[in-house]
Amino acid sequence: MDRELALQLVKEQLTDHRYQHTIGVMETAIVLAKNYGVNEKKAELAAIFHDYAKFRPKDEMKQIILDQGLEQNLLHFNSELWHAPVGAYLVETEVGITDSEILDAIRYHTSGRKGMTLLDRVIYLADYIEPGRHFPGVEEVREMAKENLDQALTQAVKNSIQFLMRKNQPVYPDTIYTYNDLVNLRR
């Protein structure tokens, strides 16, 4: 699928603000993919569709998680997590993308997972550092991302967990597994 059609399909699903974020993730993901030897076309498509389900009603997402046998434990955590796995499902069934690497990068873009592929890493990080993001610590991660993908990713995951903990929010298990896996990797 070419970029123009993909962007057209996702634009209908998003607010203008979220569409601008998506463009930022796409551009960032392509730079990271070039830099770290990841398939640029897959990075482009995964980035374009990563937030495809962001504005689906909660009830619809919940029903998909139940009916399609997605990870049921998601239902016990913040519904903000649901758009990633539900997005992977909808991008396959509504858009017709079947590439499992692209679908996985969408599925794990919010939590990460143990054993993230290079494409998963590029999309997670691009989502975190795209130019429209402004929060404490993002500039440090942007700098790291130029030199070392895993160092930048580890910092991003650490920041995210610390952010959740400061707000007394539960941390989804995959998010913790991602952190542990990255820290073990560097030993």
Contacts with ligand DGI, residue ranges (CB under 6 A):
51, 54, 77-78, 80-81, 84, 109-111, 127, 160, 164, 169-172, 175
Binder of residue 81, out of ligand DGI, Fe ion, none (CB less than 5 to 8 A by kind)? ligand DGI
Nearer to ligand DGI (CB atom), residue 115 or residue 170: 170
Nearer to ligand DGI (CB atom), residue 1 or residue 164: 164
Nearer to ligand DGI (CB atom), residue 2 or residue 138: 138
Q: What is the DSSP letter of 72?
A: G
- The whole-angstrom separation of Cα 38 and Cα 58 is 33
Task: Return the closest-CA partner of residue 11 out of 26, 2, 24, 23.
Answer: 23
Q: Residue 130, interface with Fe ion (CB under 5 A)? A: no
For residue 150, how many other CB atoms are within 10 A of its CB?
A: 16
- The whole-angstrom separation of Cα 153 and Cα 167 is 21
- Tokens of residue 116, six digits: 């993230």
The alpha helices in 37-93, defined as continuous H runs, are 40-49, 58-67, 83-90
Binder of residue 164, out of Fe ion, ligand DGI, none (CB less than 5 to 8 A by kind)? ligand DGI
Nearer to ligand DGI (CB atom), residue 2 or residue 144: 144
Per CB under 5 A, residues contacting Fe ion are: 51, 127
